Amino acid sequence: MLQLIWLIPILPLVGAAINGLLGKRVFKNNEKLIGVIAAGAVGLSFIIALGAWLQYTFNYGPSHGHAPFVNELVSYTWITGGASVTTLGHDIGRYLQDGLTIKWAYQIDPLSGVMILIVTGVGFLIHVFAIGYMHGETGFYRFFAYLNLFMFMMLVLVLGSNFMMMFVGWEGVGLCSYLLIGYYFDKQEAGDASKKAFVVNRIGDFGFMLAILAIFSTFGTLDFSEVGKAISTHGYAVEAFGTFGLMSWIALGLFIGATGKSAQIPLYIWLPDAMAGPTPVSALIHAATMVTAGVYMVTRTNFIFQRSGTMMFVVALVGALTALVAATIAFTQTDIKKVLAYSTVSQLGYMFLGCGVGAFVFGIFHVMTHAFFKALMFLGSGSVIHGMHHEQDMRLYGGLKKWMPVTYITFMAGWIAICGIFPFAGFFSKDPILGNAFSTAQYFPNGYGKILWAIGFITAGFTAFYMTRLMALTFWGEYRYNDRALQLEVRSEHVPADQGHDHDKAHGDAEEEATAHEHGPGHGGQFFPHESPKVMLVPLMVLAVLSVVGGWVGWPAALGWQGPFTRWLEPVIAKVAPAEHAQGEHAQLPLDKEGHVVIRKVALQEESTGAPEKEKTDPIEYVLMIASVGWAALCMFIAYLVYIKNGPFAMADKIANSIRPLYIGSKNLWYWNDLWDNKFIELMKRFDNLLWGADSQGVDGGVNGTAWLTRSSSAVSGWIDKYVVDLVVNLVGWFVRIGSVFFRAAQTGFTQNYMLAIIIGIFIPIAFIVLTRWFSQ
Amino acid sequence: MNPLLFALFIQASETTAQGPLSRLQNGPPLSTFMTLSFLLFILGVAGVLTRRNIIIIFMSIELILNAVNLNMIAFSRYYQLAGGGNIYTGQIFTIFIIVVAAAEAAIGLGIVIAMYRNRETVKIDEIDLLKW
């Protein structure tokens, strides 16, 4: 199976090619055929991925010291170049024997093994769901071709053995994201959102590209394992917190790339807008897989990040702040997908917080559990939107559990999981992240870690609150769609910021279309939702089960049994000794010893620590666990009081009025979009105008001047041509015409005239000869 | 006919009339043939230049050819008597000319008939399409 890993990305590519090229003309948009091809390709990939992962984890990995397995069967030299030493100097030559060589080779190691399982597994379920969700679309084949192409790119991203392949995948998923967000290209909103996503991603990609160049010029290679080896054998020291050296610069570039792709502050603004795409796309790309590429990349390059205390703190801080800010925005959103989008941004923040505090394993673990429960909830929301005929405003839902029982039950699993309630998946990944944040002291002073923990802890409560609000507004309470007054109120309200007017307009159009259907929400008529077809419900059920049990592989040792997940991923995480400076500070911190012990146990599981150390579980761990579960439960209860006990809106409005500024700020996304628009983009526009002026005055002036010169000189040469050259030609013509007056008379047309000429021609020479002889004698 | 040769023969005929060759002559002298030939030639040329009927022009051309033939025969004989080279050259040449003239007459008459069918005339001054 290991030798077959090249098939994992290729199969979806083949599916994309078949559906993209033949879908319209040959298959006539036949939904069954196209759906089977698309989902089948991903399903086959999943089977191969599962086989390869099993073989690696239980056979190849342990016997080869957990070294990555690089597929030699289907790999080739993709980019060659021998001039690196010449162009980059002999510093490169130290590491580089035979110049730049980049191979196109797929590699599997614990990290990419987990990632391909997530991508193909969740991807397969979402493909199946999409067959039901996209039923009746004219662009059905196009959708699945894009979706399969996305799978290919994402798998190249996680299976590539070097930074260049990762970059190809990185750009490829960006492209597919653009295509799929803009799937409804006839809607202004979708087109704008896709452009925004692409442009914002480009900003991040710029940083990533610079980082790749820096890595190459530092280490002379782009292969992950080669760079990893070079960085430890050539003794790049750990840059302590507060210093900013080469490693920090590289890490900064990589992290800018990650903020773009994974929607972190300041580049998160594209993700909520990306909800303009079809819901399966939101589930697959903007929740489960693509947006976690940044976390994957940071974990993949952990040997660089771990060598920079400053950047570790930046990563953790950005992650924590993103989690908090996104959660506060999610409080007030009324569009069900927007709430989930901000929730995704918030959860991604958690992942980065985990990476930043050194718990890379739990960052990836959270990627996995989040993929389960967030894909579940996005698909659940897709099921709701499908059942409600594309109504997305939660205020018009309510009481849906009566009509959509399966969706309701499965959604509830995702809700409890994201709230972090034991023993659902979210608990097992979120809690160790917070625990590590609380006790970290390896990269930056423990006091900062405590602050990060506090932010993360508060956010966990916020998450529980707004997710409960979503549940309450959607599934519980009274069914409100047929309330005409409320509907008018909702329709007339335009979300002030967030370019909401475009959204609502497009939304209204969808409404009109739905009305045309037989039982759409007509004006005046009563409308009731319906449960989705089986093809959509089965993926929901599978994901619901995973949201419950998926976290158990990472069961914490503190609760009696050690899950295998940390052991699997541990070999990927480089063991970097803390910087001298950090250790010095470490000694001064009050909680140093305990903190240190906890890291060793929870985060890194360094060395093969035996049972005795496991028994010494820090009591603070239990305290943290109980505290976070209790806090989440408390927030859920508050949300219950606000949205269930006291009606869906009455008490919420009262609270909103009492903290009016905060409410308005959250509703308007903290004016972050406006900041981008008014400050950065306006500035850029002004700069562009300046350039435009230079262009129109300077460059165009030059061009026009040249044109004028050409015109004048051509006028002169035209005059010469007309009056001199033509004159000569005409003179020749006149001469011939005048001359011909005499000569053409010879051509009489009488044969005898010609005869006479011949005879005269004969007789004149003869006469001449005869006469000259005559007289000379 | 090469005018240079023609002039030489005029000279030669004058010398033969009084020279040693005259006693070997068996019949009239060369100048007699040449005079007849000349007259025939002039007649032919005059016919070609003056007549308007193509058939008659043809006949005049035949006259010119026959003038030449007569010359050939006469010179052939003259050379033979003078002990010159190949004595039959002139006579064979003449036969060739007669054959070619016959062929030419046949083709020419064909052309004339074709022309008559098209233009209903054989007057040469009415056939002047090549005029400028």
Instruction: Using alpha carbons, list the distances in angstroms from residue A566 to A256, A432, A605, B24.
Output: 27, 11, 8, 145
- Report the residue from B3, B7, B130 with minimal CB separation from A749: B130
Of the listed ranges A264-268, A293-297, A364-368, A725-729, the one predicted with least confidence: A264-268
Residues A274-285 pLDDT 10s: 998 999 999 999
Q: What is the pLDDT of residues A433-469, one digit of tens each?
A: 998 888 887 888 888 889 999 999 999 999 999 999 9
Mean pLDDT lowest for which of A109-118, A406-415, A523-532, A619-628?
A523-532
Q: List, for residues A180-207, the tens digit of each pLDDT value.
A: 999 999 989 899 999 999 999 999 999 9
Indicate yes or no: CB of B132 within 8 angstroms of CB of A759: no
* A484 CB burial (10 A radius; 0-12, 13-18, 19+): exposed
Lowest-confidence pick of A240-254, A593-607, A633-647: A593-607
CA A580 to the chain's CA centroid: 38
Q: What was the pLDDT predicted at A730?
A: 93
Over residues A231-253, the pLDDT tens digits come to 888 777 888 888 888 899 999 99
Cβ A466 vs Cβ A629: under 8 Å: no
Domain with B91 in it: 28-123
The runs of H, that is alpha helices, within A244-288 are 246-261, 270-273, 279-283
Q: Cβ B48–A769 below 8 Å, yes or no?
A: no
Q: How far is A719 from chain B (nearest CA, A)?
A: 38
Give residue A618's identity as a one-letter amino acid code. Answer: D
Q: What is the torsional sign of CA A644, A649, A650, A651?
A: positive
Q: Is the ipTM of this complex over 0.90?
A: no
With a CB cutoff of 8 Å and minimum separation 6, the contacts of A245 are A239, A308
CA distances from A697 to A67, A559, A690, A700, A704 (A): 61, 73, 10, 6, 10
> Of A237, A215, A243, which Cα lies nearest the Cα of A576?
A237
Report if residue B129 sits inside a domain.
Answer: no
Out of B7, B128, B130, closest to residue A770 by CB: B7
Reading the block at residue A506, the tokens are: 């497009």
Instruction: Tell me, yes or no, if A747 comes closer than 8 A to chain B by beta carbon.
Output: yes
Nearest alpha-carbon partner for A334 in A502, A181, A472: A472
* DSSP assignment of A125-158: HHHHHHHHHTTT-TTHHHHHHHHHHHHHHHHHHH
* Domain assignment present for B112: yes
Pairing of strands A100-104, A69-70: unpaired
Task: Provide the token pair at B23.
Answer: 């006693």
The CATH number covering residue B46 comes to 1.10.287.3510
**Of A261, A152, A255, A143, nearest in space to A197 by CA:** A261
Confidence of residue B26 (pLDDT cuts 50, 70, 90): low
Mean residue pLDDT across chain A: 84
pLDDT the model gives residue A588: 38
Mean pLDDT of A293-297: 94
Higher-confidence residue of A626 and A237: namely A626
Cα A458–A589–A599 angle (5° rounding)? 65
Please say if the pLDDT value at position A599 is more than 50.
Answer: no
* pLDDT tops 60 at residue A429: yes
Comparison of pLDDT for A4 and B23, the residue scoring more? A4
B95, pLDDT greater than 90: yes
Q: Is the pLDDT score of B9 beyond 70?
A: no
Q: Which pLDDT score, from 0 to 100, does residue A254 have?
A: 95
- Bridge partners of A76, per DSSP, are A104
Task: Give the model's confidence band at A678: pLDDT under 50 very low, under 70 low, under 90 confident, else very high.
Answer: confident
pLDDT value at position A522? 46
B128 with A750: Cβ contact below 8 A: yes
In a domain? residue B68: yes
In this complex, the residue of A756, A759, A769 whose CB is nearest that of residue B4 is A769
Contact assessment for residue A420 and residue A555, using Cβ atoms and an 8 Å cutoff: no
Considering only CA atoms, which of A449, A447, A437, A436 is closest in space to residue A590? A447
Cα–Cα distance, A539 to A471 (Å, whole number): 20
Whether B132 and A762 lie within 8 Å, measured CB to CB:
no
Average pLDDT over residues B48-58: 90
What's the pLDDT at A656?
83
Decide if pLDDT at B16 tops 70: no
Task: Please check whether residue B4 lies inside any domain of the structure.
Answer: no
* Side-chain-facing half-sphere of A105: CA atoms under 13 Å: 24
Measured between beta carbons, the chain B residues lying within 8 angstroms of A777 are none
Going by pLDDT thresholds of 50, 70 and 90, the confidence category of residue B6 is low
Region A570-575 average pLDDT: 85
Per-residue pLDDT at B25 = 53
The answer to whether residue A515 scores a pLDDT higher than 90 is no
Q: Do A749 and B128 touch (CB under 8 A)?
A: yes
- The reported pLDDT for the residue numbered A707 is 94
Summarize the confidence of residues A599-616 as an average pLDDT.
42
- Report CA Rg, chain B: 19
Q: Which chain A residue has the Cα nearest residue B3?
A: A766
User: What angle (nearest 5°) sits at the alpha carbon of residue A498, between those of residues A201 and A464?
Assistant: 85
Contact B49 A747 (CB under 8 A): no
Residue partners of A1: CB distance under 8 A and separation at least 6: A48, A51, A52, A54, A55
Whole-number Å distance between alpha carbons of A592 and A589: 5
Task: Round to whole Å and give the CA distance between A618 and A15.
Answer: 51
Q: What does the pLDDT average to over B116-120?
A: 89
- Higher-confidence residue of A677 and A325: namely A325
CB neighbours of A550 closer than 8 A, spacing ≥ 6? A368, A369, A372, A425
Taking the CB of residue A753, how many other CB atoms lie within 10 A of it? 15
CA angle A110, A112, A118 (to 5 degrees): 105
Q: Read off the pLDDT of each residue in A638-665 and give the average, rounded to a whole number.
A: 83
Residue whose token pair is 């580089």: A96
Residue A143, classified by CB atoms within 10 Å of its CB into exposed (0-12), middle (13-18) or buried (19+), is buried
The yes-or-no verdict on residue A617 having pLDDT over 70 is no
Query: In chain B, how many domains are there?
Result: 1
Chain B residue whose CA is closest to A751: B124
pLDDT at A86: 60
Is residue B56 domain-resident? yes
- Show residues of chain A in contact with B6, CB under 8 Å: 766
A764 CB within 8 Å of a chain B CB: no
- Cβ-Cβ contacts under 8 Å for A447 (sequence gap 6 or more): A589
**Rg of the Cα trace of chain A?**
37
Whether A498 shows a pLDDT value over 70: the answer reads no
Confidence class for position A151, pLDDT limits 50, 70, 90:
very high
- Quick one: tokens of A752? 């005898």
Q: Which has more pLDDT, A413 or B78? A: A413
Rounded to 10 deg, the angle between the A425-439 and A619-640 helix axes is 120
Chain B residues within 8 A of A772 when measuring between CB atoms: none
> What burial class does residue A135 get, using C-beta atoms within 10 Å of its C-beta: 0-12 exposed, 13-18 middle, 19+ buried?
middle
Q: What number of other Cβ atoms are within 10 A of residue A551's Cβ?
A: 28
| Residue predicted with more confidence, B113 or A562 | B113
